[in-house]
């Protein structure tokens, strides 16, 4: 194992193997402690229909149920569905909410807001004598940011914490929400790699249709994490567990890591 690989594993705190029941307990307690100390009344989790948000939703629901039982106060886990127009797999989002018996859910369609921002951006281009539409990737980034704006609008007035789904496999490649992407308040999946998130999903009872689907941020049609990054989550997880992987996969992972250091670091200043 190279020095850089050792440094990354230590920095992200990934264990070579986990016991799912222990990790669930540790992360639920982490959420409960943070809700108590922050004086908030619960947690908000955007449920995309993917694996990571499903696991985070399960942890959130356990945490707020336990807080309510222990204190006699009402603590809420709010599940938010955020399609852009029509979302082909939104049934999976609702299946996750049903699996964890979420009592509070809302659907906020971001299509109009995203399209308005894209249009204003194109007016700005035109004023610079640049005559083109916002790029597909650029519009995808707008979708991610608008989703965060809506989450924080809800969380502010409801006194909730916004929960992120970021984990070590995403932090490794910079493929996660941070600073300019909108940020979040708390990340209960950090220090887990993608394989370990899947282990928690199995333990928590996440619907099979969600566990088995290809990971995607849903930023544009046909987009997948592995296709965009050019490396599989199997190689990514092996790397974070200290295992040997092919030189080609190692090079891609470490190149992503070094290129995206700004996403793992605080906002710089002088």
| Residue 265: predicted pLDDT | 80
- 2: confidence class by pLDDT, cuts 50, 70, 90: confident
Instruction: Tell whether 130 is covered by a domain.
Output: no
CA-based nearest residue to 264, from 186, 166, 154: 166
Q: What angle do CA 98, 210, 190 make, to 5 degrees?
A: 95
Instruction: Tell whether 25 is covered by a domain.
Output: yes
Instruction: Tell whether 21 is covered by a domain.
Output: yes
Q: Is the pLDDT of residue 91 over 60?
A: yes
| Residue 180: predicted pLDDT | 45
Instruction: Tell whether 119 is covered by a domain.
Output: no
Q: Given 23, 52, 225, 238, which residue is catalytic?
A: 52
SS (H, E, C) 182-222: CCCCECCCCCCCHHHHHHHHHHHCCCHHHHCCCCCCCCCCC
- 159-181, pLDDT tens digit by residue? 999 999 989 998 898 876 555 45
- 124-139, pLDDT tens digit by residue? 999 999 999 999 989 9
Q: Does 254 participate in catalysis according to the annotation?
A: no
| Total domain count, the chain | 1
Q: Does 29 participate in catalysis according to the annotation?
A: no
Instruction: Tell whether 198 is covered by a domain.
Output: yes
Q: Given 23, 92, 166, 170, which residue is catalytic?
A: 170
- 34-84, pLDDT tens digit by residue? 999 999 999 999 999 999 999 999 999 999 999 999 999 999 999 999 999
Q: What is the pTM of this model?
A: 0.92
Q: Is 219 exposed, middle or buried (0-12, 13-18, 19+ CB in 10 A)?
A: middle
Domain that holds residue 146: 3-109+140-261
Asked whether 191 and 199 are in contact (CB, 8 A), the reply is: no
CATH code (residue 18)? 3.40.50.620
């Amino acid at each position: 194992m190279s020095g850089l690989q050792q440094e990354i594993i230590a920095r992200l705190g990934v264990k070579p193997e986990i016991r799912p029941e222990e990790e669930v307990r540790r992360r639920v307690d982490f959420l409960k402690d943070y809700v108590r100390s922050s004086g908030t009344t619960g947690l908000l989790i955007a449920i995309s229909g993917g694996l990571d948000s499903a696991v985070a939703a399960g942890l959130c629901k356990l945490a707020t149920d336990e807080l309510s039982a222990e204190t006699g106060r009402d603590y809420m886990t709010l599940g938010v569905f955020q399609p852009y127009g029509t979302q082909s797999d939104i049934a999976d989002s609702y299946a996750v909410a049903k699996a964890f018996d979420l009592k509070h859910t809302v659907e906020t369609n971001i299509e109009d807001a995203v399209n308005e921002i894209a249009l204003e951006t194109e007016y700005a281009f035109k004023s610079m004598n640049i005559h083109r539409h916002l790029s597909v990737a650029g519009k995808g980034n707008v979708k991610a940011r608008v989703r965060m704006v809506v989450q924080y609008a809800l969380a502010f007035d409801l006194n909730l914490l916004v929960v992120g789904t970021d984990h070590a496999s995403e932090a490794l490649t910079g493929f996660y929400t941070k600073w300019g992407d909108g940020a979040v308040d708390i990340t209960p999946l950090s220090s887990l790699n993608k394989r370990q998130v899947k282990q928690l999903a199995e333990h928590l009872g996440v619907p099979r249709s969600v566990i088995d689907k290809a990971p995607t941020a849903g930023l544009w049609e046909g987009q997948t994490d592995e296709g965009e990054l050019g490396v599989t989550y199997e190689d990514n997880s092996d790397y974070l567990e200290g295992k040997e992987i092919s030189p080609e996969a190692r090079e891609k992972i470490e190149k992503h890591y070094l290129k995206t250091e700004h996403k793992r670091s605080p906002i710089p200043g002088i």
